[in-house]
């Protein structure tokens, strides 16, 4: 089911939490609402769900205006970060709950409930836990059961608020991949809230970047990374070096291969992987000193210091490539910039 929000605004007292938000989500997308704490992600999700009323604007599900429809008539499934499963019910009963509380005329028979719950538990790969209680599950297992429970009523839209927020890094990574696969199989239009840009980029088909209650940019993860609409998005999505041309960086950037003449007064954002380093030539003007480096798995993050400046510049390159340079701390290196984004 497609989702549209049209000119949504929301105040809490005099504070503007959402400021004229419009958004179209085609059927079947897996969308991340991404932004810093307090930017309005959860409020927007709650308005789409019908748990919160907007001051202005409308919500449409599959083209139908649902602004005034109650939650229960919106065919929405939820998973929240601290989504409490019913502690006194087994895993099976938790997943069956939504089916058992349907009005009598819509309630499936016991045999159908039984089959459906086991199918869903199979889908989240936890059928073997069906007779356990929530307290006997790990955090990641609980979240998967919460998702199975949300899916039991066959929602047309799935809303997830920081679904993996409380879990440790390893489990989060597994669940991201798992959610992607599940979405691929079910194709339910889904929106999840996260403040973790890596999670958004890895899982979502579309990313919506929010800041101070406004949409800064919406697009596929690759587009947002390669073509950030503004300085906020550029800094929020991945690492970036920031060079201000008013601060005498111009000559140095020019020597590093970046044409600066038409960009005076602007700010250059340079991704660490767009900085190439090699051992310094004696006559080089663009040299920097290698201060330190850290291992980021397959990549090395290299900290460089410009002569006469306290600010660090960060480069990244594959492990083996770095090893081949045979560099040590304190070495002078040449630096070349392959690409920059320019902002005012
Ligand atoms: N019921 C409320 N009453 C007053 N202010 C609220 C209420 N709900 C949210 N806010 C405020 O509105 C802003 C947006 O809140 P929201 O929960 O949507 O942010 P968020 O982007 O989801 O943040 P986080 O990532 O920290 O969960 C915040 O500044 C918050 O303090």
**Would you state the pLDDT for residue 128?**
94
Chain position carrying tokens 């307090």: 38
Ligand 1 centroid to Cα of residue 10, in Å, is 11
SS3 state of residue 139: helix
Helix %, strand %, coil % for the chain, to 5?
A: 35, 30, 35
Instruction: Answer for the pair 59, 10: CB distance below 8 angstroms, yes or no.
Output: no
Instruction: Answer for the pair 191, 46: CB distance below 8 angstroms, yes or no.
Output: no
pLDDT (tens digit per residue) in 171-187: 788 878 888 888 888 88
Ligand 1 centroid to Cα of residue 252, in Å, is 43
Instruction: Return the number of other C-beta atoms located less than 10 Å from residue 5's C-beta.
Output: 21
Distances from the Cα of 150 to the Cα of 113, 145, 320, angstroms: 14, 9, 45
Out of 39, 47, 80, mutate this one to test ligand 1's pocket (max ligand atoms within 8 Å of CB): namely 39
What CATH fold (topology level) applies to the domain 3-236? Answer: Rossmann fold (3.40.50)
Instruction: Answer for the pair 258, 337: CB distance below 8 angstroms, yes or no.
Output: yes
- According to DSSP, the residues that pair with 10 across neighbouring strands are 18
**Would you state the pLDDT for residue 83?**
63
- Enumerate residues lining ligand 1, CB below 6 A: 12, 17, 35, 37-43, 195
Q: Does this complex have an ipTM over 0.85?
A: yes
The enclosing H or E element of 100 equals helix 91-100
What gap in Å lies between CA 197 and CA 220, rounded to an integer?
13
What gap in Å lies between CA 60 and CA 66, rounded to an integer?
6
What gap in Å lies between CA 39 and CA 41, rounded to an integer?
6
**Would you state the pLDDT for residue 316?**
96
Ligand 1 centroid to Cα of residue 72, in Å, is 23
**For 205-239, b where at least 16 C-beta lie within 10 A, e where not — what string?**
bbbbbbbebebbbbbebeebbeebbebbbbebbbe
Out of 13, 16, 17, mutate this one to test ligand 1's pocket (max ligand atoms within 8 Å of CB): namely 17
Residue closest via CA to ligand 1's atom 24 equals 37
Instruction: Answer for the pair 142, 135: CB distance below 8 angstroms, yes or no.
Output: no
**Would you state the pLDDT for residue 269?**
94
Out of 19, 41, 164, mutate this one to test ligand 1's pocket (max ligand atoms within 8 Å of CB): namely 41
The enclosing H or E element of 20 equals strand 15-25
For the chain, the maximum distance between any two Cα atoms, rounded to a whole number of angstroms, is 84
Residue closest via CA to ligand 1's atom 2 equals 12
SS3 state of residue 302: strand
**Would you state the pLDDT for residue 32?**
96
pTM for the model = 0.87
Ligand 1 centroid to Cα of residue 17, in Å, is 7
**Would you state the pLDDT for residue 282?**
67
Sequence length of the chain is 344
What gap in Å lies between CA 138 and CA 122, rounded to an integer?
17
What gap in Å lies between CA 29 and CA 31, rounded to an integer?
6
**Would you state the pLDDT for residue 207?**
97
The domain covering 241-343 belongs, at the CATH homologous superfamily level, to Nucleic acid-binding proteins (2.40.50.140)
SS3 state of residue 307: coil
Those residues of the chain that have pLDDT short of 70 are 82-83, 166, 247-248, 282-286
Q: Where are the domains of the chain?
A: 3-236, 241-343
Strand-strand pairing, 30-34 and 206-211:
parallel
Ligand 1 centroid to Cα of residue 6, in Å, is 20
**Would you state the pLDDT for residue 204?**
95
């Amino acid at each position: 089911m497609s989702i549209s929000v049209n000119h949504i605004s929301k105040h809490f007292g005099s504070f503007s939490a959402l400021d004229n938000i419009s958004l179209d989500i085609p059927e079947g997308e897996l969308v991340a609402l991404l932004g810093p704490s307090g930017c309005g992600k959860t409020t927007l999700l709650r308005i789409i769900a019908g748990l919160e009323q907007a001051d202005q604007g409308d919500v449409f599900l599959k083209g139908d205006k649902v602004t005034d429809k109650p939650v229960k008539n919106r065919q929405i499934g939820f998973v929240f970060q601290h989504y409490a499963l019913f502690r006194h019910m087994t895993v099976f009963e938790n997943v069956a709950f939504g089916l058992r509380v349907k009005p009598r005329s819509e309630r499936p028979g016991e045999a159908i409930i039984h089959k459906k719950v086991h199918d869903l538990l199979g889908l989240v790969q936890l059928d073997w836990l069906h007779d356990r209680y929530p307290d006997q599950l790990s955090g990641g297992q609980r979240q998967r059961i919460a998702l199975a429970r949300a899916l039991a009523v066959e929602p047309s839209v799935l809303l997830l608020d920081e679904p993996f927020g409380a879990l440790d890094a390893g489990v989060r990574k597994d669940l991201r991949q798992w959610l992607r696969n599940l979405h691929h199989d079910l194709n339910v239009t889904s929106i999840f809230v996260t403040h973790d840009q890596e999670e958004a980029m890895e899982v979502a088909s579309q990313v919506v970047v929010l800041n101070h209650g406004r949409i800064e940019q919406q697009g596929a993860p690759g587009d947002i990374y390669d073509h950030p609409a503004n300085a906020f998005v550029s800094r929020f999505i991945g690492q970036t070096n920031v060079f201000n041309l008013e601060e005498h960086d111009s000559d140095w950037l020019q020597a590093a291969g970046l044409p600066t003449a038409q960009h005076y007064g602007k700010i250059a954002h340079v991704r660490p992987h767009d900085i190439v380093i090699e051992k310094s030539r004696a006559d080089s003007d663009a040299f920097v000193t290698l201060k330190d480096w850290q291992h980021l798995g397959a990549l090395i993050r290299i900290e460089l210091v410009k002569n006469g400046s306290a600010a660090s510049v960060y480069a990244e390159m594959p492990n083996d490539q770095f090893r081949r340079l045979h560099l040590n701390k304190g070495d002078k290196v040449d630096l070349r910039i392959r690409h920059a984004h320019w902002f005012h």
